[in-house]
Amino acid sequence: MKTTNQSSGKKNSVKDRVRLPFFFDTEKMIKEYEDLGLGPFTYYSAVPLRGPAHIVDPSLPMPPPSDNYADGSWTDWLDTPILKESPYLKSVIDTFADNAQVTLVRLLRLAAGSTVKEHTDPTLGLHIAKSVIRLTVPIISKKDVTFYLNGTAVPMLPGECWYMRLTDPHKVVNAGPTERVNLTIDLQPNKWVRALVAEAEKADAVPIG
């Protein structure tokens, strides 16, 4: 997909990883995930909880073509039926939706013994002028699961919430015997979002709750 993003030149103003001051109820998230009954999968599975309106509801018209799809403003966004069955996950997302425009939300599943090869996501960083950022909330993540960013492990624990600069090289290794499940929330970085990340970095992001 072609984009025309320009960097703001402030890549180094925020660390490549910041733990945000939230801690969500892992047991509630796991229960709602299990209640979905998603069944087995091979290697990798992305389960949409929020997506482009015309995809969630095919009766809606497609949006017009856009010169730049990076920040999500090219379409309206809707919660999927799966999210409507998951009130606690919806409350987690609403923590951010009450303060910023949330676009794509997914459950990302990585099978036991699988690896996501190192790659970059060119528009997922606060330093990109027109972008979204991706927040990650681990739901099921055992000690043998490691997320590497710029060659070093990010010590994410279930229930925590992290901002990571995914324009940088990153990969995931699930060396354990069980699947890994993360909740990812994409949102447009407005003043509230930027202040949240900056204050969390300054305070070393000790979780609350």
* Cβ contact 47:109 at 8 Å: yes
- pLDDT tens column, 133-172: 999 999 999 999 999 999 999 999 999 999 999 999 999 9
Give the tens place of pLDDT for each residue, 40-54. 999 999 999 999 999
Q: Report the alpha-carbon angle 149-44-34, nearest 5.
A: 105
- Averaged over 82-98, what is the pLDDT? 97
Whole-number Å distance between alpha carbons of 156 and 105: 19
Query: Domains of the chain (ranges plus CATH)?
Result: 14-57+69-202 (2.60.120.330)
Biggest CA pair distance of the chain: 46
On the question of pLDDT at 4 being above 90, the answer is no
Closest by Cα among 111, 58, 62, 101 to 80:
58
The rounded distance, in Å, linking the Cα atoms of 94 and 18 is 20
Q: pTM here?
A: 0.90
